A and B are shown apart, each in its own frame.
Chain A
Amino acid sequence: EAQVTQNPRYLITVTGKKLTVTCSQNMNHEYMSWYRQDPGLGLRQIYYSMNVEVTDKGDVPEGYKVSRKEKRNFPLILESPSPNQTSLYFCASRTGRNQPQHFGDGTRLSIL
Chain B
Amino acid sequence: AQSVAQPEDQVNVAEGNPLTVKCTYSVSGNPYLFWYVQYPNRGLQFLLKYITGDNLVKGSYGFEAEFNKSQTSFHLKKPSALVSDSALYFCAVRGDNAGNMLTFGGGTRLMVKP
Residues of chain A having any CB pair with chain B under 8 Å: 4, 31, 33, 35, 40-45, 48, 50, 56, 58-59, 90, 92, 97-98, 100-106
Q: Is the CB–CB distance between B102 and A101 below 8 Å?
A: yes
Most buried by B among A4, A56, A103, A104: A103
Size category, B interface: 20 to 34
Q: List 25 A-B contacts (CB under 8 A).
A: A4-B43, A35-B104, A40-B106, A42-B4, A42-B90, A42-B104, A44-B104, A45-B101, A45-B102, A56-B100, A58-B101, A90-B43, A97-B32, A97-B94, A97-B100, A98-B32, A100-B34, A101-B36, A101-B46, A103-B36, A103-B43, A103-B44, A104-B43, A105-B43, A106-B43
Please pick, from A41, A50, A100, A105, the residue contacting B41 in the complex, using a CB distance under 8 A: A105
Sample of 8 more A-B contacts, CB < 8 Å, known A98-B32, A106-B43:
A40-B106, A42-B107, A45-B102, A92-B44, A97-B100, A101-B46, A103-B36, A105-B42
Q: Is the CB–CB distance between B43 and A42 below 8 Å?
A: no
When C-beta atoms are compared, the residue in chain B nearest to A97 turns out to be: B100
Q: Mark B23-38, 1 if CB is under 8 A from A, else 0.
A: 0000000001010100
- A43 with B45, Cβ < 8 A, contacts A98-B51, A100-B34 known: no
A58 to chain B, nearest CB (A): 7
Q: Provide the residues of chain B in CB contact with A4, threshold 8 Å.
A: 43
B22 at the interface (CB under 8 A from A): no
Q: Provide the residues of chain A in CB contact with B107, threshold 8 Å.
A: 40, 42
Q: Is the CB–CB distance between B106 and A41 below 8 Å?
A: yes
- A50 with B51, Cβ < 8 A, contacts A41-B106, A98-B32, A101-B44 known: no
Q: Provide the residues of chain B in CB contact with A56, threshold 8 Å.
A: 99-100
Q: Provide the residues of chain A in CB contact with B4, threshold 8 Å.
A: 42
B11 to chain A, nearest CB (A): 16
